[in-house]
Amino acid sequence: MSELQEQEERLQFDRFDHDDAWELGTLLVRLGRERRHAITVDIRLGDHQLFHYALPGTSPDNDDWIERKIRVVRRFGHSSYLVGQSYRDRGTTFEEQAHLEPARYAAHGGCFPIILRGTGPIGTVTVSGLPQLDDHRLVVEALGLFLNGRRPEPGATT
């Protein structure tokens, strides 16, 4: 849990706009293509969907997972993986204890809050298509690259 909390402290923006959503989204798509991942990427500022792209091999089910993960982040203000892990650490599951409709909420990894430093969560970046920890790690990796200005060139491996 401390590592997940540290990620949210470290991966914060000083500003975030439409152009940032485009750059972050295309970075995630590029990483997905290079690694041959069948993923869908979604970025929102509040309720406004700024970026959405589905790589080959995905389906409408990925869009459903994205919506369910986003609802968790909006409700709890933390990454969907952190929320799910907090229940697992207590020896239970989100589905058993949160008393929220599983068809609408999924505390599975892959959705991370876009946190504006000094303000708090203002949006979400979500990946769906991999096992939940891999979805989470891909988002965290891309946020780290983006925020540190080390955006890989097309074809470069990270």
Q: Where are the domains of the chain?
A: 2-147
Give the pLDDT score at 157.
44
- 68 burial class (0-12, 13-18, 19+ CB within 10 angstroms)? buried
In tens, the pLDDT along 32-79 reads 999 999 999 999 999 999 999 999 999 999 999 999 999 999 999 999
pLDDT in tens, 141-157: 999 999 998 554 554 44
Whether the predicted pLDDT of 158 surpasses 80: no
- Distances in Å between the Cα of 74 and the Cα atoms of 33, 37, 90, 132, 154 are 28, 26, 22, 18, 32
Give this prediction's pTM. 0.90
pLDDT at 3: 87
- Sorted by sequence, the CB contacts under 8 Å of residue 6 that are 6+ apart come out as none
- Residues 125-147: what's their mean pLDDT? 97
pLDDT tens, 87-124?
Answer: 999 999 999 999 999 999 999 999 999 999 999 999 99
Of the options 3.30.450.150, 3.90.550.10, 3.30.420.40, 3.40.50.261, the CATH number for the domain spanning 2-147:
3.30.450.150
The pLDDT assigned to 2 comes to 86
- pLDDT above 70 for 15: yes
